[in-house]
Amino acid sequence: MRKNSVIMSVVFLALIGFSIIPELLHAQIPSQIPDALTVKHSRKSVRKYLDKPVSKEQLEILLRAGMAAPTAGDKRPWSFVVITDPAMLDTLSFASRGARMLSSAAAAIAVCGDKSAGFKSEVWVQDCSAASENILLAAEAIGLGAVWIGIYLNDEPTKYVKRVLGLPEEVFALNIISIGYPTGEEKPKNKWDTTRIHWEKW
Amino acid sequence: MRKNSVIMSVVFLALIGFSIIPELLHAQIPSQIPDALTVKHSRKSVRKYLDKPVSKEQLEILLRAGMAAPTAGDKRPWSFVVITDPAMLDTLSFASRGARMLSSAAAAIAVCGDKSAGFKSEVWVQDCSAASENILLAAEAIGLGAVWIGIYLNDEPTKYVKRVLGLPEEVFALNIISIGYPTGEEKPKNKWDTTRIHWEKW
């Protein structure tokens, strides 16, 4: 009986351990999120990642931000394919020369548009671009790094991603957002340029 | 001489007054900007405004946010036409049925793309959409309300805005972002929908 209860205790503790430890390892949501303007100006394209996983909870924060974007006529013509499987990330890294970093990413989100769900044929591109920007900003906000890998408008990558992800006929990946913990090497650019501003008229 | 110095003092104080008072009236940047995730979820399309001006300083915050967005190949194929003149806002309100609120807006920013400056012919739409989302979020962050009025892809509005704003041949307005102080009536939508998420594959 004594041996049994020791075994039971070990099994019990092991079960608790296995269920809690991954959560502790993965769920690293900062308790303080920086302010919205700071995040906009600290966001940068992050292509180099630490060898550290991101959690489902973190990815859900990004997805929630994506779905908070506005869409034309409130049609929400979007879907999101979330990839965390290293083999799948590796396969996707061959979509284009600009997609190589996916092989070392912890996760990716393909932001997809449904041509049949949009308000007009190509307006989903604008809607999904706004959602993508929200995802990039949310990643920066919670201490992750991300980069927008353009897919749509590039014929071969478009076909490749459609096939690999098994997208329906009317659904296209606008981009793949590559996600991971930044190494800290990449810095934001200052792109402020007053020559691009016209007051009242061009 | 005494009379002169009194006059001089009055003129001097009036000059200070005229230069400072509008700044105090207009420059209402909150000292505390809400966090980036809160702003994403509190942003809504604001079409009803208080009769209250927005300052150049506030508009510059929005423009800075816009220019912090990522662009394909870092080409930054954007320009921004900022409109504060009530007569011009009124003229622009006739661009489309969806543009009517411009007549009561305090300001507007037409986010324009230069087809000749982009990485590929139509990729400017994605770049300018990301910039537009940054502007909408920055407006929410500093207590303003804004709405994205789609122009590009709509033939008549595209021509009308091009003519009214005097845009060069290769430059197109993706949208006009209408800006003002919100009345508080409009609330954010909860658009979270797990059926739009696919894990690993469609």
Q: What is the pLDDT of residues B98-130, one digit of tens each?
A: 999 999 999 999 999 998 887 777 999 999 999
Query: Whole-number mean pLDDT of chain A?
Result: 92
Residue A118: what pLDDT? 73
The whole-number pLDDT of residue B7 equals: 72
B22 pLDDT exceeds 60?
A: no
Each residue's pLDDT tens digit, A71-113: 999 999 999 999 999 999 999 999 999 999 999 999 999 999 9
Q: What angle do CA B105, B111, B116 make, to 5 degrees?
A: 160
Mutation for B interface: A40, A41, A89, A174, most B CBs within 10 A: A40
Residues in A closer than 8 angstroms to B37, CB to CB, are 33, 61, 65, 138, 141-142
ipTM of the complex: 0.87
**Nearest-by-CA chain A residue for B150:** A72
The alpha carbon of residue A151 is apart from the nearest alpha carbon of chain B, in Å, by 11
CA distance A16 to chain B (A): 26
* pLDDT (0 to 100) of residue A2: 63
Helix (H) or strand (E) holding B114: strand B107-114
> What three-state secondary structure class fits B137?
helix
* Test mutation, A78, A176, A191, chain B, max B CBs within 10 A: A191
pTM: 0.88
**The pLDDT of residue B20:** 54
A126 has pLDDT over 80? yes
SS (H, E, C) chain A: CHHHHHHHHHHHHHHHHHHHHHHHHHCCCCCCCCEHHHHHHHCCECCCECCCCCCHHHHHHHHHHHCCCCCHHHCCCEEEEEECCHHHHHHHCCCCHHHHHHHHCCEEEEEEEECCCCCCCCCHHHHHHHHHHHHHHHHHHCCCEEEEEECCCCHHHHHHHHHHHCCCCCEEEEEEEEEECECCCCCCCCCCCHHHEEECCC
* B121 or B140, which is more confident: B140
Q: From residue A2, give the alpha-carbon distance in Å to each of A6, A8, A10, B2.
A: 6, 10, 12, 107
Per-residue model confidence as pLDDT tens digits over B69-81? 999 999 999 999 9
Longest dimension (CA), chain A: 87
Q: Nearest Cβ partner of A165 from B85, B125, B201? A: B201
Q: Comparing A173-182, B19-28, B46-55, which segment has the lowest mean pLDDT?
A: B19-28
| pLDDT score at A36 | 97
Q: Euclidean distance between the first and final Cα of chain B, in Å?
A: 86
Size of interface A-B (CB pairs under 8 A): 207
Taking only the tens place, the pLDDT of each residue in B84-103 is 999 999 999 999 999 999 99
Contact A40/B76, CB-based, under 8 Å? no
What is residue B12's predicted lDDT score, i.e. its pLDDT? 66
**Closest CB from B69, B88, B126 relative to A200:** B88
User: Helix, strand or coil for residue B70?
Assistant: coil
